[in-house]
Amino acid sequence: AHRSIVTGSNDGVIRFWDPFVTERAAAILRGHNSSVTHLVVDNRENHIIRIDKGKNIIIWDVQTLKTIQRISHTIFDLSGQDLTICYLNPTQQRLIIGNRKLLSLSHINESYIHHERTSHIYSITKILYNPLFDVIISCDEGSTINIWNIRTGEKIMHILNAHVTQFDEYNEHAVEITTMCLDESKRRLITGAHDSSLALWNFNNGHNLYRVNSNEIHVKEITTLLHENERLFVAGWSRRIQVFHFGKSVVIRQGLYEISNE
């Protein structure tokens, strides 16, 4: 499994590819009647977890290519919108899926059982796992950030209006959080928004440490953030990667350079 590429497609078929043989798939799995929307490889258990457009889940054994478990969408309440989030925590063996709600599926005795939590009013756009504090962080289109105890499902912290647009002295509008990441220490959270603004948060108390306004970022609608070697890489729909110095001090030094194909 570690030497294969696994893909899902609109025809509902899962394909295993040898990276050096691209003419045809090395193996094929069928089982969904509708498009595959999410695909997760569990390397520890040698499982493939896939979800279709109807929110049905199938778990496969990679070695035998046989179905281990099927989970119908009818056993949990995630009706309405399509799933926007799918994340596997391999340490806790929990599969987390959601749209406006988060659903946690625990791997117990070769099966996944679910624990449902109403978590967000608006659609969830990103979830992260913080291994330092053993918590899940989720954010949504309504500019809300929630931090959860992964073992109990308890909401530990709740941040409203993380990103806003100020119309005048009395009126402001919440801006969708499009992505987020943790810094290398796992003690600070960085969020990016639809309007290209950035925000830095203290993970312990939820205090906003620093903001970078959208007019300082030359990236349209931030879609990806990465913090590595005291540098923050910011990318979006502009097809550019902007790089900031982002060390132990709070201040983010304005863009060091940009990476583009122009």
Q: Would you state the pLDDT for residue 1?
A: 44
Closest C-alpha to 141, from 186, 171, 112, 178: 178
Query: Residue 255: what pLDDT?
Result: 55
Q: Which amino acid is at 260?
A: S
Tokens of 207: 């205090």
Average pLDDT for residues 57-61, to the nearest whole number?
87
* 91-139 per-position pLDDT tens digit: 777 888 888 778 888 764 445 555 555 578 888 999 999 999 999 999 9
* Residue 23 pLDDT grade (very low, low, confident, very high; cuts 50, 70, 90): confident
pLDDT for 191: 96
Which two tokens mark 195? 């309007």
3-state helix vs strand vs coil in the chain, percent to 5: 0, 50, 45
For residue 26, what pLDDT is reported?
85
| pLDDT 10s digits, 173-227 | 889 999 999 999 999 999 999 999 999 999 888 899 988 887 777 677 899 999 9
Q: At 253, which helix (H) or strand (E)?
A: strand 253-259
The pTM of the full predicted model, rounded to 2 decimals, is 0.56
- Domains belonging to the chain, first-starting first, are 1-75 (2.40.10.480), 76-258 (2.130.10.10)
Instruction: Tell me the pLDDT of the chain averaged across its residues.
Output: 82
Position 254 confidence tier, pLDDT thresholds 50, 70, 90: low
Count of residues in the chain: 262
